[in-house]
Amino acid sequence: MSDGTQVSPPAPVSEAPRGEDLLHNPAVNKGTAFTEEERNTLGLRGLLPARVCSQDEQVMRVMENYRTKPNDLEKYVYLTALHDRNETLFYRVVMEHLPEMMPIIYTPTVGEACQHYGHIYRRARGLFVSARDRGKIADVLRNWPVENVRLIVVTDGERILGLGDLGANGMGIPVGKLSLYTACAGVHPSCGLPIMLDVGTNNETLLDDLLYLGLGQKRLRGQAYDDLVEEFVMAVQEVFPRALIQFEDFGNVNAFRLLKKYRDRVCTFNDDVQGTAAVALAGLYSALRITGDRLIDQRILFAGAGEAGTGIADIVVSAMMDNGLSHSEAAGRCWFVDSKGLVVKSRDDLQEHKRPYAHEHEFCEALADAVRCVRPTALIGASGQPGIFDRDVVDAVASINDRPIIFALSNPTSKAECTAEQAYGWTDGRAIFASGSPFDPVTLGDRRLVPGQGNNAYIFPGVGLGVVLSGATRVTDEMFFAAARALADQVSTADLDQGSLYPPLSRIRHASQSIAVAVARMAHETGLATIEIPGDLESYVASQMYEPTYAASP
Ligand code: NAD
């Protein structure tokens, strides 16, 4: 498998700059950890204080500073500065404190950072491709200093988390996702390229903000937008032909179309649709281990028929078909309520992605009424509407099921359809609950319930690693399927006993490794791999995972 196609190693220090330039290159900078010998041979003597520190001591200093920051945004700014200064130390700190730092480098703090991007900006990270670059996007890509790019996360900033159109401020999202690829799955940092496709913004507040850094124009739409995306995708094939393109936080109007247009042409996926789907399916598999029921016997009511909800339904349908149902039987087990009410055949206002789930049924407007007539075994919220799983709704689903499955996936925490405390409290602890954002454990009598977080970070980093290591030329539903199963397999009986449908974040690297193995294997079985896999795939994947330790100098 080692045919020169493996994940890029760090640049050898012998090729790295010397002296002051070395200290300003985050990929190779060790700061105060440069040894006496390195200080002599690399022209560093005098440029650093006398004492040579160990990496452990550097971590101690970082944590001391980090913990004095007055709020999460300041912590984000501090970690970003560390990332810009010493990449290895940044990943060592983040990987050692992942449960604490995940909410800072990603949702929810990254959302706040995006909102203030133009104001907290220090230096650029990633590549900015704008509508002004039409006709020369390949040249822009060639300006990126690394040749062996294997993973691109791109956004056009139209639907950033639950925050809407943030234009070029959305760059924080690809940057954050690529940090998670490294922290959660050990993808080498040099493989990743964050890209902002700046097509303008319709956010008037940003357009009026003198410090806004993006194109000061309304969003491109129609043919002009499609032409720009097409040029971008083709330019990637030309400049970085082995890169996987992850579309991230595009608006509904474009996300589904672009996925459909490119998924069979290039190596690509949409995390909001497919990553969310796989993480939710893994949660369902875990929930069914508790109830002892079969997936094909479930009847699922989704509140929210957007990228997340219909993405989940699509993978559930594939999983049910894998277990013997026909497409129409499987789709018939998935029901939707959107902002207008129950999605039924008689409605003439349905977007294309909702139509497969529009069933022959009387329309009803209220969610609780929909629960009473659909009689779901599972209720999955992906609506972005806080509190819509109210007492009436939860009572209705709990009166139908001994162990009702209730997922409140909307982010951030303030947008969750219900809290963990409500789901458990209103059902006397019978609910099998998972959420999109973290909730604290809930104590109910003598039981301590620890709700699992259906975080996409459980899925996409492992999928990306598997695709990169197998050289897969496409990303398929079967791979997300395999990823969901591999993740569910990581949930122990002890996790289930305390109500957790996902492994703890402290085991995420191991979960990502298993997912990468499953995805690489699937790539081979389906003829999509371009790199031969060794017999002992587990060990091989483990050997390729990045460790945040300083490279030895020559
Ligand atoms: P989206 O904008 O594509 O879809 C939202 C959907 O909710 C739309 O279909 C809309 O009609 C519907 N809706 C609005 N009000 C409603 C109401 N009162 N009742 C029922 N439906 C209503 O957004 P999306 O990408 O699908 O994301 C939705 C939510 O899911 C967001 O809060 C997002 O943070 C969350 N999400 C969570 C995860 C995760 O937990 N892993 C992953 C992705 C998205």
Q: Does pLDDT of 325 surpass 60?
A: yes
Q: pLDDT (tens digit, 9 = 90+) per residue, 42-67?
A: 999 999 999 999 999 999 999 999 99
For residue 130, the SS3 value is strand
Percent of the chain whose pLDDT exceeds 90 = 92
274-455, which class in CATH? alpha beta
Q: Whose CA is nearest to atom 15 of ligand 1?
A: 339
Ligand 1: nearest atom to the Cα of 338: 21
Answer whether 274-455 and 458-543 agree in fold: yes
Catalytic residues: 106, 177
Ligand 1: nearest atom to the Cα of 456: 41
As to burial, measured by CB atoms within 10 angstroms (0-12 exposed, 13-18 middle, 19+ buried), residue 387 is middle
Q: If one looks up domain 54-266 in CATH, what number appears?
A: 3.40.50.10380
Q: Does pLDDT of 376 surpass 50?
A: yes
Percent of the chain whose pLDDT exceeds 70 = 97
Q: pLDDT (tens digit, 9 = 90+) per residue, 141-169?
A: 999 999 999 999 999 999 998 789 999 99
Residues pairing with 341 in the sheet: 338
- Residue 229 in contact with residue 235, Cβ under 8 Å? no
Q: Whose CA is nearest to atom 3 of ligand 1?
A: 306
| Residue 12 banded pLDDT, cuts 50, 70, 90 | very low
Q: pLDDT (tens digit, 9 = 90+) per residue, 263-289?
A: 999 999 999 999 999 999 999 999 999
Ligand 1 mean position, distance from CA 410 (Å): 6
Q: Whose CA is nearest to atom 44 of ligand 1?
A: 308
Q: Does pLDDT of 4 surpass 60?
A: no
Rg of the Cα atoms in the chain: 24
Ligand 1 mean position, distance from CA 354 (Å): 13
Domain residue spans in the chain?
54-266, 274-455, 458-543
Ligand 1 mean position, distance from CA 34 (Å): 48
Q: Which residue stretches of 86-212 are H helix?
A: 87-96, 98-105, 109-115, 117-120, 137-142, 172-185, 204-207
Q: Does pLDDT of 10 surpass 90?
A: no
Question: What pLDDT is attached to residue 411?
Answer: 85
Q: Which CATH number fits domain 458-543: 3.40.50.10380, 3.40.1110.10, 3.40.50.970, 1.20.1250.20?
A: 3.40.50.10380
Is the pTM higher than 0.85? The answer reads yes
Ligand 1 mean position, distance from CA 340 (Å): 13
Q: Cα-Cα-Cα-Cα dihedral of 410, 414, 419, 422, to 10°? A: -130
Q: Whose CA is nearest to atom 14 of ligand 1?
A: 339
- Residue 77 in contact with residue 116, Cβ under 8 Å? no
Q: Whose CA is nearest to atom 12 of ligand 1?
A: 304
What is the side-by-side strand order in the sheet with 405-408? 341-342, 334-338, 300-303, 378-381, 405-408, 432-435, 452-453
Q: Distances from the Cα of 81 to the Cαs of 119, 124, 241, 476, 553, in angstroms? A: 15, 11, 31, 37, 24
* Cα separation, 12 vs 33, whole angstroms: 17
* Cα separation, 411 vs 155, whole angstroms: 18
Kindly list the protein residues whose Cβ atom lies closer than 6 A to any atom of ligand 1.
161-162, 252, 272, 276, 279, 303-309, 337-339, 382-385, 388, 409-411, 415, 436, 454-456
Q: Does pLDDT of 6 surpass 80?
A: no
Q: pLDDT (tens digit, 9 = 90+) per residue, 19-29?
A: 999 999 999 99
- Residue 514 in contact with residue 462, Cβ under 8 Å? yes
Ligand 1 mean position, distance from CA 35 (Å): 52
